[in-house]
Structure 1
Amino acid sequence: MATLLHRLGLTAYRRWPLVIATWVVLFIALGASVAAFSKPMSDSFSIPGIPSEKAADMQAELFPGAPDPSERATVNVVVAAPAGEELADREWTKATGALVEELSGLPQMPDTPLADPVTAAEQQRQQIVEAAKEAGGDVETAEANAAALSPLSDDGRVGTITWDFAVESVADVKPSTIEALEDVMAEARDSGLTVEANGSGSAGIPEIGGSSELIGIAVALVVLVLTFGSLVAAGLPIVTAAVGVGFGVTGISLMTAFTDIGSTTPLLATMIGLAVGIDYCLFILARFRAEMEHTSDRQDATGLAVGTAGSAVVFAGLTVLIALAALSVVRIPFLTSMGIAAAGTVLVAVLVALTLLPALLGMLGSKVFAGTIRRYRPARDHDGRILNNGVRWARLVGKQPLAVVALVVIALGSLAIPMKDLHLAFPTDSTASPATTQRQASDLVADAFGPGRDAPLLLVVDGRDVPVDERQAAYGEVVAWAAGQDDVRNAQVAGQNEDGSGAQVLVTPETGPEDTATEDLLTNLREGQADIEQSTGAEIGVTGTTAIFTDVSERLSDALPIYLLVVIGLAFILLMIVFRSILVPLTATLGFLLSVLATLGVTVAVFQEGTFGLVEGQPIVSFMPIFLIGLVFGLAMDYQVFLVTRMREAHVHGMSTRDAVVDGFRNSARVVAAAAVIMISVFAAFMLIDEPIVKSMGFALAVAVFLDAFVIRMALVPALLYLMGEKAWWLPAWLDKLLPNVDVEGEKLQRGTGGELVPDEATPGKHAADRQPV
């Protein structure tokens, strides 16, 4: 591989106008295809196979006109009179009437007229009570059912005005509509009312990134300037990463012509594409500068940099591709599309690093390190080799490697302890930032109506196999069974289809959507489902937004071990090919697991338990652990490959394991540290967004990169290599024959006395230990 990539680097350097022109033409063609064929992104939340989705399919069959809860753009405007007063008071009746009139004039409103909470509550009560009287039901129960659904609180102070925007999905709600809603609420507040809004249609599709990404890029630029001491060289990784992300995101837009792509899909692709794009260019460019110490021929330096560091880029990229593509094992469509899209962006980043970067080096020529702000004059050791902080640190670890291993394991193990209390849940309005109107509206509803008002469960009852004259009794039995469960505030028939063959039973819990008691209620309903089905003869399913989110969380939790097994198993094989060793890949993967467990423990302590009071304690978003593993595993293997391949390279060319470890740190530690600092900055910048979920994601990713890069790769791995000695590179002879020899270290490349590259065959019989290390 090193020989092939060496030739590729030389060709790209020599033919730089053609290579750059090819990339430009490809981007123009891709952009034109997007303009001609792309379609709007979808936000469908269909998860095949989960119980709530099966119940939703049964609901759609029995109630063909029922809207998909995941597509409804629901808005719930919550109004409250001042403390001690009621909305029925004359002053507040006038104010809420004016609010209703203004809301009715919003864009994208449905044809159904709105009513103020006081009027709507009385109308609803009368309808429910009259229906009960006509059916010969219990009026007292009807009154209780009306109170459970009432848009007006018991004390008359808080009310709700609810509707669905007339759109096909939440993504179709225009930003101008949201702005108009916010203006109407602001005007109503001037009257003295408290007015807030929640619901899926109250905020549209959030835009995450922008300024945070710019902050991360700015920090990356500073780190690159300090690393290379040159403004031009510092800008190259930023430029190439931007090209890779641009191609990736544009390609995602084109894929909408062939399949449904979620509107949040570009987020992961941008995050990981920016990360690896900077990393891959940084490693090759750093190797190029190192080669310029041995030769004045930039073309040869470019070829050797692409042949050696480029080989590491290829295998590092493959580990990231595995981690992202393996998200498909979770069997959640939106995660699969995000993983595949991000994997495509990583593939582009690898191609950019291997072709566009050497072409840019050819174009810039002697100006690659122009704009110098600091001369590169490394100190020299007694043997003439570079003496830097990487060498000093490697030697320090080598003095007491066993103590370093014990300290790392104990420290990270202690940080991992809080993970035993990990509680996963999907984000809701009740877990939004306290400063948002969605959170304030949810708090008002929870105080006035109980937290369960925002966590309804829907029982779909299929009575087609029940005799017609027994269906009403069967539905009543289902209601009584549901109402008898622990932590149920109310259960009632919310509607029947035209022929009475199906019913919907609305169950209002005592607790909110993120509460474990609500999850327990869902579990109890499903565990008792078989008995009530046998008793009534009807088929029952539980669905609704709360049930769907809970099922997705469970699917993610169940898939996590399988995902880990697939990712680590495939990466282990790949790393065996790279390092020609069993123990080195083993220590790499076990170290990664240790850093991930510690990261999850720290995240639980800070964000779930509210330790230090930095944020309000709340459940960890369900997809965070699997995203954390996918993203950080890719970056961790990047650092492992780039650091340890230099050690392997030195060992292949004759050094002992101890000397090879020091030499690997001499050549790669500074660059790996710079890459890690850049990624930490990029991820930490997301903590500046006033959104708890995004804060926790940014925090977890930043902590994970810090622990893996600086604690695992820089401390645990070299300490273990010191302890294992020559056994670190042990590989059974039979396995050595099975594994392909890809020559990542560039063993077939060597440098002549004048610095030029000469083929290995030119010096037959020359042992690897006699060659000048490359």
Structure 2
Amino acid sequence: MESLARFVIRHRLLVVLGWLVLMVAGGSTAGTVTDRLTFDFSLPGQPGYEAEVDLIETFGASTADTLVPVLTVPEGSTVADRSADVAGVFDAVRAAVPQARVVDLASTGDARFVTDDGRSTFALVQGPLPEGFGPGLETTLQPAFEQAAAAAGMDTGLTSYVLLSAGGETEGPSVLVETLFGAVGALAVLVFVFASFLALVPLLIAAVSILTTFLLVLGLTYLTDVSFVVQFLIALVGLGVAIDYSLLLVSRWREERAHGRGNDEAVVIATRTAGHAVLASGVTVAISLLALVVVPVPFLRSMGLGGMLIPLVSVAVVLTLLPALLSKIGPRVDWPRIRHDAVAARGWTAWARLVVRRRWIAAGVALVVLGLVIAPVFGLKIGQANTGSLARSGPSFDALQTLEDGGVGSGVLTPIELLVPDGQAGTAAETAAGVDGVRMAVLGGSRNGTTVVDVVPVGETVDSASNEVVDDVRTAVEAATGGEVGVAGTGAVVQDYFRAVYDNFPYVLGLIALITFVLLVRTFRSLLLPIKAVLLNLISLAAVFGAVTYFWQEGHGSDALFGVSATGALTFWLPVIIFAFLFGLSMDYEVFILARMREEYDDTGSTSAAVVTGLGRTGRLVTSAALILFFSFAALASSPGVDIKVLGTALGVGILIDATLVRALLVPALVSLLGKWNWWLPAGLARVLRVEPSPLHDERPLVVPVEERPLAQA
């Protein structure tokens, strides 16, 4: 590290120009990167996905979002009275969207397409697989539907799960406003930390890191498909880790200058000490994200590959560009120097001493509070949010209300599609219709010897609890037809994700834990500290999911703060994204704190002194970094979509829980309790990992500086 720092200082102009070129190139190609990202949620080899592929290839229609147009005749008449007009309206829909599959009362003759009051009827419309999240088939269907209905003197409505997910008529701030909110919050925290123009430097480092990462991801898109989710990882995680790493190195540089070091020498020492922690943290986060490649889901694998680049680029920028800038302009931008760093923060030092003196109480309080926060996680359901939490107003909500008031359940939004040979279609439909929890089963069309049977459940099939009807239908129909049946639809997709992601997730956790443990053993030269770090990270994540379950799934507070009812489940892709974000960011904080504690222990031989000085020096940095990320995630939570609100609040609350309860209370308490055993690394293991061993030594007493003792003891 020292050699790297001296090399950068000697060639700082070339270093700055090199990163400037990469930043400009990244900025100019950012739009191209976004266009090349994919919306591939495929699950190769999973039965629901393979049935979906067959449905698309045979009928040209996908179950990604089933549109449900609702037609209501005037008072005093019924659908039966106006059957010809009703059929004409839906024929107009077929003509407007010839690429779609339309199933309605006229095409099936099934009276269960009509509400209990006889005045409303609906159709199931499935179009080609969407290529993104923009407007889809509804932009063509709705005008034609409304025009034909108006000509017949009827009222219309259009609903679907995706339309409800958009939040009805709810509008949120633009991406630009959200970004500005996060940036202003970050700048405010940085100004508080540095109290000088130096606060702008971490933001500059973050900008270079993010834009350079976009440039590298552009190259990656020519080698493999990269999920659109990666762009959000780059923006949010890139902002977080780049500022975190910058905070650590800049703060150490200021500390060394306050101790009388020359500017370049302060840069070298900061890079050697804080830079070592930055490198260890970045590599740990990168390898942890890369572990996602073991999950047999393409978009998660691409997240692992793309996400790996974020911390690696941030580390490279912080260890090269930042020392070059500090060497050249650091003292000039560090003005006015209102805050001085010659000694550790008094507040954090006093807090650390209190934790050391009352270590058992501190550990007990932290564990009890975390236990209470974690408790709801045992009721966590994974699937999709129920329709009751998606929208409370707007045309899509009103259309669904019309159906529900007429006795048609929300299962109409998540039909189950069965693919069977033509000769067994009648048997399959009759059998499926007799399954408990099914409203109706109708023949939806035949092509190339295959018939699709549309099975409409009473309730929506969006999570593990409501998905039982999918298994019941599959079992009953396969028994009646004597062979395997293709089952597609939302419920089948949820089941696929359970099998592909969550059945393999323990292996991912195990791999990440093992890799993280090995890397941290090398970083801390300790056996117990890495074990504790991994366990506390998992505890912190459990607390986040417990809080999300309590707040969103069970609805304790979501209605009051966001006007959203209990979701009933956590959307199946959210836990993986939350894990990918928070595991790395939480490990950053752990490495920052423990690396400084290790350094102080090596200097003093006292665990108590290591805890007091280590937390005194890093506590403000960690909480400041957490606040910066909290502002970014709070802006994300202001978006109109329910899933994005859940993601934003989960990440924001997760960062705060980790930086306060875990890192500021539980970590120092446990380090203090474990004493000299924290620092033990057996010689045999040290040889295997090619690091210096750390034998056990007797503890030295904590020495309180004279100026910090009470007056009576001075």
TM-score bracket, shorter-length normalisation: 0.7 to 0.9
Alignment partner, residue 753 of structure 1 = none
Q: Distance in 2 between matches of 1:114 and 1:537?
A: 28
Q: Distance in 2 between matches of 1:180 and 1:507?
A: 23
Kept after mapping to 1: 8 A contact 2:160/2:413: no
Kept after mapping to 1: 8 A contact 2:226/2:306: no
Alignment partner, residue 364 of structure 2 = 406
Q: How far is 1:377 from its partner? A: 4.0
C-alpha spacing 1:490/1:712, structure 2 compared with 1 (3 Å): same
Alignment partner, residue 45 of structure 1 = 41
Determine helix, strand or coil for the equivalent of 2:258.
coil
Q: Distance in 1 between matches of 2:307 and 2:61?
A: 28
Task: Report 1:169-208 matches (<5 A).
Answer: 169-171=130-132, 193=155, 195-198=157-160
Q: Distance in 2 between matches of 1:607 and 1:298?
A: 50
Aligned with residue 20 of structure 1, among 16, 21, 35: 16
Determine helix, strand or coil for the equivalent of 1:214.
helix
Q: How far is 1:518 from its partner? A: 3.7
Confirm whether residue 679 of structure 1 aligns to residue 629 of structure 2. yes
Confirm whether residue 418 of structure 1 aligns to residue 363 of structure 2. no
1:228-265 CA-to-partner distances (Å, cap 9, x unmatched) read 001x2111111111221122234334433333233333
Aligned with residue 520 of structure 1, among 441, 446, 468: 468
Kept after mapping to 2: 8 A contact 1:174/1:204: no
Task: Report 1:303-314 matches (<5 A).
Answer: 303-314=268-279
Q: Distance in 2 between matches of 1:112 and 1:654?
A: 75
Alignment partner, residue 565 of structure 2 = 616
Aligned with residue 611 of structure 2, among 637, 640, 661: 661
Alignment partner, residue 771 of structure 1 = none
Task: Report 1:300-379 matches (<5 A).
Answer: 300-370=265-335, 372=336, 375-377=338-340
C-alpha spacing 1:629/1:560, structure 2 compared with 1 (3 Å): same
Q: How far is 1:280 from its partner? A: 0.9
Larger CA deviation: 537-546 vs 405-414: 537-546
C-alpha spacing 1:212/1:375, structure 2 compared with 1 (3 Å): same
Aligned with residue 602 of structure 2, among 652, 659, 682: 652
Q: How far is 1:98 from its partner? A: 10
C-alpha spacing 1:730/1:423, structure 2 compared with 1 (3 Å): same
Aligned with residue 718 of structure 1, among 668, 673, 676: 668
Task: In structure 2, give the amino acid aligned to 1:335.
Answer: L
Q: How far is 1:50 from its partner? A: 1.5
Number of equivalenced pairs: 682
Q: Distance in 2 between matches of 1:208 and 1:577?
A: 44
Kept after mapping to 1: 8 A contact 2:594/2:614: yes
C-alpha spacing 1:488/1:355, structure 2 compared with 1 (3 Å): same
Kept after mapping to 2: 8 A contact 1:429/1:439: no
C-alpha spacing 1:181/1:491, structure 2 compared with 1 (3 Å): closer
Aligned with residue 282 of structure 1, among 247, 252, 265: 247
Calculate the aligned-residue CA RMSD, in Å: 3.9
Kept after mapping to 2: 8 A contact 1:445/1:453: no
1:391-419 CA-to-partner distances (Å, cap 9, x unmatched) read 10110001110111111111111221111
Q: Distance in 2 between matches of 1:288 and 1:182?
A: 63
Confirm whether residue 458 of structure 1 aligns to residue 417 of structure 2. yes
Task: In structure 2, give the amino acid aligned to 1:221.
Answer: L
C-alpha spacing 1:731/1:176, structure 2 compared with 1 (3 Å): same
1:674-706 CA-to-partner distances (Å, cap 9, x unmatched) read 111212222222222222211221221122211
1:271-310 CA-to-partner distances (Å, cap 9, x unmatched) read 1111111111111111111111123521111111111111
Kept after mapping to 1: 8 A contact 2:463/2:494: no
Aligned with residue 564 of structure 1, among 486, 490, 509: 509
Determine helix, strand or coil for the equivalent of 1:653.
helix
Q: How far is 1:638 from its partner? A: 0.7
Aligned with residue 222 of structure 2, among 249, 252, 257: 257
C-alpha spacing 1:242/1:69, structure 2 compared with 1 (3 Å): same
Confirm whether residue 266 of structure 1 aligns to residue 231 of structure 2. yes
Alignment partner, residue 54 of structure 1 = 50
Q: How far is 1:344 from its partner? A: 1.1
Q: Distance in 2 between matches of 1:33 and 1:691?
A: 28
Q: Distance in 2 between matches of 1:284 and 1:23?
A: 18
Task: In structure 2, give the amino acid aligned to 1:645.
Answer: A
Q: How far is 1:475 from its partner? A: 3.6
C-alpha spacing 1:730/1:742, structure 2 compared with 1 (3 Å): closer
C-alpha spacing 1:368/1:195, structure 2 compared with 1 (3 Å): same
Q: Distance in 1 between matches of 2:463 and 2:684?
A: 55
Confirm whether residue 577 of structure 1 aligns to residue 526 of structure 2. no
Aligned with residue 220 of structure 1, among 155, 172, 186: 186
Task: In structure 2, give the amino acid aligned to 1:478.
Answer: A
Q: Distance in 1 between matches of 2:659 and 2:280?
A: 18
C-alpha spacing 1:169/1:180, structure 2 compared with 1 (3 Å): closer
Kept after mapping to 1: 8 A contact 2:105/2:111: no
Q: Distance in 1 between matches of 2:16 and 2:660?
A: 36
Q: How far is 1:47 from its partner? A: 0.4
Structure with bigger gyration radius: 1
Alignment partner, residue 550 of structure 1 = 495
Task: In structure 1, give the amino acid aligned to 2:353.
Answer: R
Task: Report 1:589-628 matches (<5 A).
Answer: 589-612=534-557, 613-614=559-560, 615-618=564-567, 619-628=569-578
Q: Distance in 1 between matches of 2:645 and 2:148?
A: 31
Larger CA deviation: 686-695 vs 274-283: 686-695
C-alpha spacing 1:74/1:57, structure 2 compared with 1 (3 Å): closer
Aligned with residue 459 of structure 2, among 482, 500, 511: 511
Task: Report 1:725-744 matches (<5 A).
Answer: 725-741=675-691
Q: How far is 1:17 from its partner? A: 1.9
Alignment partner, residue 446 of structure 2 = 496
Q: Distance in 1 between matches of 2:246 and 2:436?
A: 58
C-alpha spacing 1:308/1:192, structure 2 compared with 1 (3 Å): farther
Q: Distance in 1 between matches of 2:484 and 2:91?
A: 41
Larger CA deviation: 549-558 vs 319-328: 549-558
Determine helix, strand or coil for the equivalent of 1:688.
coil
Larger CA deviation: 648-657 vs 197-206: 197-206
Determine helix, strand or coil for the equivalent of 2:445.
strand
Determine helix, strand or coil for the equivalent of 2:440.
strand
Seq. identity, %: 30
Determine helix, strand or coil for the equivalent of 2:454.
strand
Q: Distance in 2 between matches of 1:386 and 1:123?
A: 78
Unmatched runs of 5 consecutive residues or more in structure 2:
695-714
Unmatched runs of 5 consecutive residues or more in structure 1:
129-142, 464-470, 745-774
C-alpha spacing 1:202/1:251, structure 2 compared with 1 (3 Å): farther
Q: Distance in 1 between matches of 2:89 and 2:440?
A: 33
Alignment partner, residue 115 of structure 2 = 153
Q: How far is 1:177 from its partner? A: 8.8
Q: Distance in 2 between matches of 1:114 and 1:736?
A: 65
Alignment partner, residue 135 of structure 1 = none
Larger CA deviation: 17-26 vs 574-583: 17-26
Determine helix, strand or coil for the equivalent of 2:59.
coil
Kept after mapping to 2: 8 A contact 1:483/1:489: yes
